[in-house]
């Protein structure tokens, strides 16, 4: 290697070396990784020519601690910390994430290279025993009075309790299949999950009710897969920018700028959801609440999609200004 030239500057993606992709080991993470590799195969001839991809499963702290809320153990960064380390140590060349599990401020040296086309961003209700018939017009109508809902998400908890203060929420974590099993087993009357994860795992039929994003504001980035790389790996960054989904890129920029402006801890229930309107403008809805649903503030903004980041920051600032200060302490 000539002196002064780092490994990242050597063109290596033309087919000589296998590309190593880092992923978590859950069935959903593996599905998303294979989906990403299949997209590369179709859309990115240079990477396709490289042919060899190595999947590296990386166990994260978030996968190992299952009995507590993420909010209590250091937040969503826990799903990505070990994956960032693997990238920086050059054990992998890129990594596949659920964008909603990826912190808004990435560590120095790591960048988000591209976002893939969004799967359905909405939340869905999984019904266990003792629930009524689902009614699309009244998403919570099928839940009996006083029912216990299994969720580990303060965002979902705050919104369902604001609509139905009689319900109770109890902690449920683990991967999608584990959660479904616990609802089927009768431990909870119902649970809330991202429809995107259910669809990807072929479990869409489990979604008894799909909730409108204005009624249950999804998490920023929900349903979007994001790919991280080393910032210095210009070649890979450029190749991956070619498979960027432009709509996903615009909405995720707005949602992540919104989240970043709020700077809430993950104890703060925050929802952020953007979509493109038929005229091409961007419509962003944001939510801040208290976990028990006793305070809930929801606002929307519409503006040019080219101003996604500014719109997100503006909505975040506006919600923050009108929320009790202790929510962001």
Ligand X SMILES: NCc1[nH]cc(CCC(=O)O)c1CC(=O)O
Smallest gap, in angstroms, from Cβ of residue 73 to ligand X? 13
Smallest gap, in angstroms, from Cβ of residue 62 to ligand X? 8
Task: Specify the residue, 46 or 171, whose C-beta has the smaller distance to ligand X.
Answer: 171
Q: And the tokens for 45? A: 């001839």
Alpha-carbon gap, residue 297 to 262, rounded angstroms? 13
Range in contact with ligand X (rule: CB under 6 A) among 48-56, 94-102, 138-146, 229-237: 94-102
- Asked if 33 interacts with ligand X (CB under 6 A), we say no
Residue 152: name the closest of 130, 167, 174 by CA.
174
CA dihedral 49→23→58→233, nearest 10 degrees, is: 50
Query: For the chain, what percentages of helix, strand and coil (3-state, to nearest 5) are there?
Result: 35, 20, 40
Pick from 113, 147, 160, 196 the residue near ligand X by CB under 6 A: 196
Q: How many residues of this chain bind ligand X (CB under 6 A)? A: 10
Task: Specify the residue, 100 or 253, whose C-beta has the smaller distance to ligand X.
Answer: 100
Residue 93 is among the residues annotated as catalytic for this protein: no
- Asked if 113 interacts with ligand X (CB under 6 A), we say no
Using left for φ > 0, alpha for ψ between -120 and 50, and beta otherwise, residue 139 falls in alpha
Residue 301: name the closest of 272, 260, 259, 264 by CA.
272
List the catalytic residue out of 67, 72, 101, 212.
Answer: 101
Site for ligand X in 221-280 (CB under 6 A): 222-223
Alpha-carbon gap, residue 91 to 64, rounded angstroms? 21
* Angle, alpha carbons 223-225-226 (nearest 5°): 140
Task: Specify the residue, 124 or 257, whose C-beta has the smaller distance to ligand X.
Answer: 124
Smallest gap, in angstroms, from Cβ of residue 28 to ligand X? 6
Smallest gap, in angstroms, from Cβ of residue 75 to ligand X? 11
Smallest gap, in angstroms, from Cβ of residue 222 to ligand X? 4
18, 50 Cβ separation under 8 angstroms: yes
**DSSP H or E run through 274:** strand 270-276
Smallest gap, in angstroms, from Cβ of residue 190 to ligand X? 13
Pick from 98, 151, 158, 268 the residue near ligand X by CB under 6 A: 98
Alpha-carbon gap, residue 173 to 179, rounded angstroms? 7
Pick from 143, 180, 194, 296 the residue near ligand X by CB under 6 A: 194
Task: Specify the residue, 223 or 271, whose C-beta has the smaller distance to ligand X.
Answer: 223
Pick from 193, 207, 274, 282 the residue near ligand X by CB under 6 A: 193
- Asked if 183 interacts with ligand X (CB under 6 A), we say no
Pick from 77, 139, 150, 197 the residue near ligand X by CB under 6 A: 197
Alpha-carbon gap, residue 164 to 208, rounded angstroms? 18
- Residue 119 CB-half CA count within 13 A: 23
Provide CB contacts within 8 A for 202, sequence distance 6+: none
Nearest residue to ligand X by CB is 197
Alpha-carbon gap, residue 235 to 12, rounded angstroms? 8
Task: Specify the residue, 75 or 141, whose C-beta has the smaller distance to ligand X.
Answer: 75
Catalytic residues: 101
Q: Which residues bind ligand X (CB under 6 A)?
A: 98, 100-101, 176, 193-194, 196-197, 222-223
């Amino acid at each position: 290697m000539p002196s002064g030239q780092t490994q990242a500057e050597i063109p290596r993606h033309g087919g000589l070396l296998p590309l190593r992709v880092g992923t978590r080991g859950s069935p959903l993470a593996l599905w998303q990784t294979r989906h990403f590799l299949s997209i590369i195969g179709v859309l990115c001839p240079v990477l396709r020519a490289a042919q060899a991809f190595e999947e590296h499963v990386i166990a994260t702290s978030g996968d190992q601690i299952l009995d507590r809320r993420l909010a209590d153990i250091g937040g969503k960064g826990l799903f990505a910390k070990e994956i960032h380390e693997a990238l920086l140590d050059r054990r992998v060349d890129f990594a596949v994430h659920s964008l909603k599990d990826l912190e808004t401020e990435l560590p120095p040296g790591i960048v988000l290279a591209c976002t893939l086309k969004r799967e359905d961003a909405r939340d869905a209700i999984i019904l266990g025993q003792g629930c009524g018939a689902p009614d699309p017009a009244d998403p919570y109508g099928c839940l009996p009075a006083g029912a216990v809902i299994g969720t580990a998400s303060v965002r979902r908890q705050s919104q369902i309790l604001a609509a139905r203060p009689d319900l109770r929420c109890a902690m449920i974590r683990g991967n999608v299949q584990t959660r479904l099993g616990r609802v089927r087993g009768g431990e909870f009357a119902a649970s809330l999950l991202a429809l995107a994860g259910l669809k990807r795992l072929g479990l869409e039929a489990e979604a008894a009710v799909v909730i409108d994003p204005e009624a249950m504001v999804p998490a920023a980035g929900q349903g979007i897969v994001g790919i991280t790389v080393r910032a210095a790996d210009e070649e890979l960054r450029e190749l991956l920018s070619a498979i960027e989904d432009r709509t996903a890129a615009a909405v995720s920029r707005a949602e992540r700028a919104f989240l970043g402006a709020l700077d809430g801890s993950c104890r703060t229930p925050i929802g952020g959801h953007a979509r493109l309107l038929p005229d091409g403008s961007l419509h962003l809805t944001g939510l801040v609440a208290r976990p028990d649903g006793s305070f809930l503030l929801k606002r929307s903004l519409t503006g040019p999609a080219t101003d996604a980041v500014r719109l997100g920051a503006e909505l975040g600032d506006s919600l923050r200004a009108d929320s009790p200060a202790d929510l962001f302490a």
